Amino acid sequence: MKNRGLRFDPRIQFAMLALPGAAFVFVFLVLPLLSIVVFSFWRTERYELIPEWNLENYRIVLTDPTYLTFLLRSLVMATVVCLASVVYAWPVAYFIAKHGGRYRLVLVLLTAAPFLTGIVLRVTALQQILGPIGLVNMALMTFGFEPIEALMYSNVASAIGLVYLWIPFMIVAIYLSLLNFDFELLEVAKVAGARPWRAFLEVTWPLNWIGTAIGIVLVFVPTFAATVTPRFLGGPNGSLFGNILEHQFGATGTWALGSAMGVVLFLVSLAFILLIGRTIDPKRTGFTGIGR
Amino acid sequence: MGDGRRTSFFLQALLLAFLYLFLYFPIFYIAFLSFVENTTWPFPPLYTLEWYSRLAIMSDFHEGLFNSLLIGLGTGALAALFATAGAMALLRYPVRRKALVALLYLGPLFVAEVLIGISTLMFNRNVLGLPGNLFSAILSNTTHALAFAFLVVLSQLVRYDWRMDDAAMVFGARPLRCFFEVTLPSIWPAVLGAFLVSFLLAFNNFEISFYNLGAVPTLPTIAWGTLRHGIEPELYALATLVNLAVFVALLLLYLLIRTGLVRIGLPED
Amino acid sequence: MTPVLDLQAVEKRFGAVTALSEVDLTIDRGEFFALLGPSGSGKTTMLRVIAGLERPDRGRVLVEGREVTALPPYLRNIGMVFQDFLLFPHKTVGENIVFPLRMQRRSRAEQQEQLAWVSRLVRLQGLEERYPHQLSGGQKQRVALARGLVSRPTLLLLDEPLANLDRELRREMEVEIRRYQRELGIPFVYVTHNQEEALTIADRMAVMYRGRIEQVGDKLDLYMRPETRFVAGFLGHPNRFSARVLEIADGRMLLDWNGVRLRQERRFETRAGETVELFLKSERIRLCRRPDEAAALPNRVPGRLQDAIFKGVFADCFVTLNNGAELVVAATPDAAGIPRESPVTLAWDIADAHAFPVEQEGGGS
């Protein structure tokens, strides 16, 4: 009888339900991530990791101008893509949330649907439009115009591609935030004398900042680590930090250096997340929590 | 003021329409390309089914499809299971340290796929001494898909009234019986939705699967290989088939969400 | 005879909030018992502890003499009717009702037999194939009752079962529920925040406040002889005022209320010169148009009628007394016809008002 009662204890039921998944993530994600932190302080010799502790890998990643260029370029790329996504996603999410009515769910699912077809196929499709022999340039040439250089294998093409890939996250995040936003507050602001833009900046934006911030982080993380998009759309000067990172695990087999790059990639993303997190004032988000 | 409002309404609608065009035109364009012979400049188009028949006899394609399906099914099942249990735990029990648990479930959203890929590669190879295989690909795809599955279940389960379970237990249902007789019949659309989303994510995943599998093909790695060696039109056929399958699955998901709302007893919005 | 339910020093906390503290309660065979209290008083927590849905932090719960404190709900055979009915939306009425029997692995024949019996009892015949969303509120209520009763539990718990029904239906169901209880002889524990409901439906009752049982007993006893300030203030519609003790003799007190002399029972230790607080139920005051009508009653106070509001079965009369105070009187409805500003006399008996020592901290309503 004691035993049965124990099994009914809510804390034990909670643990039985929540721990398997949490333990799974810990073992198959957190431990591997920790392992590359360890490896990043080792060195590689002829495709083998040698457990000799040193800081050489970090010295290379953080001082070699080539790697620094890639790091910086990735950072700029991720920032630009985030900004472009925010600017584009906001009016779209706002429109769906406010005017979508009973079609809201369909409209938002339609923006998110392509995401599930996988990045390789999406980049393939985009390449057929933007690439050097893609639809746009072929059309221009067919009608006797010069092809647009910027669209062929360039950082601009990469940026367009990354927005194409990740804007669904931004839209869904902002949309979900707007779903819980009371649009009548805007009327209140306008009655109090605020013009539409002022009302947006004073009421809508701050109350939905947490959703926007989540969207920004969700776009930043994969963009900053992008490999496939720059490879197939970016051209000769389009390689990003992710490409140089994969390189260490492919042709060169410099595992330790690659691990250090992975750690740097993770730490920069983490720093960005924390930076964005600092801008959230829990008392001013209007967030009331989930569950009961 | 009224004019300004109308202008901004149409501007927003236009932006949405352009977004759909931006998102879907490439997808439909390669679907179109998959049916023509002159793929570089298909005007006027010369229709053919050649690419599909070539794809059908590609042995890599069969193996890749099979592997992708396995990874999708395995990941879908594991992720849906963990996500459902985790969401139930989080929503049902007044326990402290919920935030820590939620962080572990949602954390993978903030870890780039390529990092998941290389870190599991390194962990398997250098710590466990195992070569990557389908099994490890399923496991590390699950860590990634779990976050999405968790969000899907959570978004539906917040509407469920847990006192239903209290009622079932007072009337004699043990916890498992209660789950299968009362909870699951109400929440199954959410569980199936989570399965579907994780299935699709894993089925189409490139970066995680690639580092776990090396030379073992999946559909995305075949596509990647083809793309690398200069595009071959079979890839259009492949992409079109996958896209079609995804959209059928999403239609299903949409219907599920709607029945989910009905099931849990709330009117659709 | 062992009581059906015996709570011994039960305590339950949720974080910093004490939902139940030192609760002792026994419920006997065949009893209709009401738990009355304002929201947040701990009555629902108590029901959940009895059902096994919450485990008390301290104390013991005994059902028919057997300790069940640590026993999970599914092993207790206690029936329950929930506030929002909580019918399983994916099961038909019949499936909902036989659910407890299926959980007890009773045979199909027995399930059908009990279903027929209980459907007849709660008058639900012919609705067995419907789904809950096809039912009216009253029908859902009956299904919930049938599901609670079908396995003939040792005890039926009812958690505000009528809160979601409209007034008419509530009256009807109060009578119905009393009838089921009489016919089955199963003890019912009925939780409500509505005193009329509790007073109508139950035999015995407890008033709860801030996680404690303030008073338990026969319902008339609680109403007529409240033992705590809270119960005195909560039951009925009392007027509340303070008065000073002038004299004490023979278990009675003579009080001074702003120049008016009142006679009152003395039920606690007090001395002349101290102040006491009085609760005087508005429905126990007699409103007299001529002073001599009240000659038989010891407490008489003259005043003027300010307003009379017709309420159907009675009229609320607002009277300003000559000592400046204002009292509300629930008088017979014809009082609504008395002209405003008419002189009236208010009168009541010694036992109609309840005196308590003045408390520093303001508890009660």
Q: Which of B129, B186, B199 is nearest to B158 (CA)?
A: B186
Structural tokens at position C31: 């009893």
Is the model's pLDDT at C362 over the cut of 50? no
Whole-number percent of chain A with pLDDT over 70: 94
CA distances, A134 to each of A127, A268, B30, B42, C223 (Å): 6, 35, 11, 11, 88
Q: Which of C124, C121, C81 is nearest to C100 (CA)?
A: C81
Is the model's pLDDT at C46 over the cut of 70? yes
One-letter identity of residue C326: E
* pLDDT tens profile C71-89: 999 999 999 999 889 999 9
Q: Which residue has better confidence, B267 or A262? A: A262
Q: Which of B241, B245, B217, B203 is nearest to B63 (CA)?
A: B217
How many Å separate Cα C206 from the centre of its chain? 7
Q: How many domains does chain B have?
A: 1
Q: Which residues of C touch A6 (CB under 8 A)?
A: 70
For residue A11, the model assigns a pLDDT of 83
CA distances, C210 to each of C16, C207, C311 (Å): 13, 10, 32
B89 occurs within a structural domain: yes
One-letter identity of residue C267: R
Is the model's pLDDT at A291 over the cut of 50? no
CA distance B165 to B159: 14
Bridge partners for C321 per DSSP: C303
Determine, for residues A9 and C71 on separate chains, whether the beta-carbon distance falls below 8 Å.
Answer: no
Residues A192-207, mean pLDDT to the nearest whole number: 89
Cα of B10 to nearest chain A Cα, Å: 10
| Per-residue pLDDT band at B261 (split at 50, 70, 90) | low
Architecture of the domain defined by A40-284: Orthogonal Bundle (1.10)
For residue A284, the model assigns a pLDDT of 67
E strands within chain C?
5-14, 17-27, 32-36, 58-63, 66-67, 79-81, 156-159, 188-192, 204-209, 212-218, 238-249, 252-257, 260-265, 275-281, 286-288, 299-310, 315-321, 326-331, 343-348, 353-357
Is the model's pLDDT at C358 over the cut of 90? no
Instruction: Characterize the bridge pairing of strands C252-257 and C286-288.
Output: unpaired
Among candidates C72, C133, C147 on the partner chain, residue whose Cβ is nearest the Cβ of B171:
C147
Q: Which residue has better confidence, C273 or C215? A: C215
Structural tokens at position C274: 């101290």
* pLDDT tens profile B68-83: 999 999 999 999 999 9
Is the model's pLDDT at A32 over the cut of 90? yes
CATH number, domain of B225, equals 1.10.3720.10
Look-up: residue for tokens 């329950």? C80
Residues B188-200, mean pLDDT to the nearest whole number: 92
Mean pLDDT of chain C: 90
Domain range for residue B196?
58-263
Could you tell me where the DSSP H helices lie in C185-266? 195-201, 219-224, 229-234
B182-B187-B193 Cα angle (round to 5): 155
How many Å separate Cα A254 from the centre of its chain? 27
Is the model's pLDDT at C189 over the cut of 80? yes
Is the model's pLDDT at A290 over the cut of 50? no
Q: Which residues of B touch A229 (CB under 8 A)?
A: none
CA distance B39 to B32: 9
Is the model's pLDDT at B264 over the cut of 70? no
Structural tokens at position A226: 């992008």
E strands within chain A?
43-45, 48-50
Structural tokens at position C307: 């307003």
B36 occurs within a structural domain: no
For residue B228, the model assigns a pLDDT of 83
Q: Nearest residue on chain B to A132, judged by CA atoms?
A: B40
* pLDDT tens profile C123-170: 998 999 999 999 999 999 999 999 999 999 999 999 999 988 888 899
For residue B263, the model assigns a pLDDT of 52
CA distances, A88 to each of A76, A85, A206 (Å): 18, 5, 18
For residue A8, the model assigns a pLDDT of 65
Cα of A15 to nearest chain C Cα, Å: 17
Determine, for residues B91 and A269 on separate chains, whether the beta-carbon distance falls below 8 Å.
Answer: no
Q: Which residues of C touch B266 (CB under 8 A)?
A: none
* pLDDT tens profile B95-132: 777 888 888 899 999 999 999 999 999 999 888 888 87
Determine, for residues B227 and A266 on separate chains, whether the beta-carbon distance falls below 8 Å.
Answer: no
| Per-residue pLDDT band at B260 (split at 50, 70, 90) | low
Whole-number percent of chain C with pLDDT over 90: 65
CA atoms within 13 A on the CB side of C217: 12
A10 touches chain B (CB under 8 A): yes
User: Environment class of residue B163 by beta-carbon count within 10 Å: exposed (0-12), middle (13-18) or buried (19+)?
Assistant: middle
Is the model's pLDDT at B27 over the cut of 80? yes
B119 occurs within a structural domain: yes
The answer to whether C132 and C93 are in contact (CB under 8 A) is yes
* pLDDT tens profile B202-229: 999 999 999 999 788 999 999 998 888 8
The answer to whether A71 and A156 are in contact (CB under 8 A) is no
Collect all residues from C whose CB is shorter than 8 A from any CB in A: 52, 55, 70-73, 75
* pLDDT tens profile A73-128: 999 999 999 999 999 999 999 999 999 988 998 999 899 999 999 999 999 999 88
What is residue B47's DSSP assignment? B
The answer to whether B74 and B138 are in contact (CB under 8 A) is yes
Residues A165-183, mean pLDDT to the nearest whole number: 93
Is the model's pLDDT at B25 over the cut of 90? yes
B73 occurs within a structural domain: yes
Determine, for residues C73 and B169 on separate chains, whether the beta-carbon distance falls below 8 Å.
Answer: yes
> How long a stretch of residues is chain B?
269
Residues C234-243, mean pLDDT to the nearest whole number: 90
Q: Which residues of B touch C52 (CB under 8 A)?
A: 169-170
Residues 6+ apart with CB under 8 A from C119: C97, C125, C127, C128, C146
For residue A280, the model assigns a pLDDT of 85
Highest average pLDDT, of B237-241, B255-259, C295-299, comes from B237-241
Among candidates B94, B161, B173 on the partner chain, residue whose Cβ is nearest the Cβ of C74:
B173
Determine, for residues C70 and A7 on separate chains, whether the beta-carbon distance falls below 8 Å.
Answer: no
Residues A199-221, mean pLDDT to the nearest whole number: 93
Q: What is the DSSP string of A88-130?
A: HHHHHHHHHHHH-GGGHHHHHHHHHGGGGG-HHHHHHHHHHHH
Residues A189-218, mean pLDDT to the nearest whole number: 90
Bridge partners for C347 per DSSP: C286, C300
Q: What's the predicted TM-score (pTM) here?
A: 0.87
For residue A1, the model assigns a pLDDT of 39
Whole-number percent of chain B with pLDDT over 70: 96
Determine, for residues B83 and A21 on separate chains, whether the beta-carbon distance falls below 8 Å.
Answer: yes
Query: Of B35, B65, B126, B161, which to mutate for an interface test with A (greatest number of A Cβ within 10 Å)?
Result: B126
Structural tokens at position A211: 């959703």
- Does C5-232 carry CATH code 3.40.50.300? yes
Question: What residue ranges do the domains of chain C occupy?
Answer: 5-232, 237-357
Determine, for residues B166 and C74 on separate chains, whether the beta-carbon distance falls below 8 Å.
Answer: no
Name which CATH class applies to C237-357: mainly beta
Among candidates B170, B185, B264 on the partner chain, residue whose Cβ is nearest the Cβ of C78:
B170
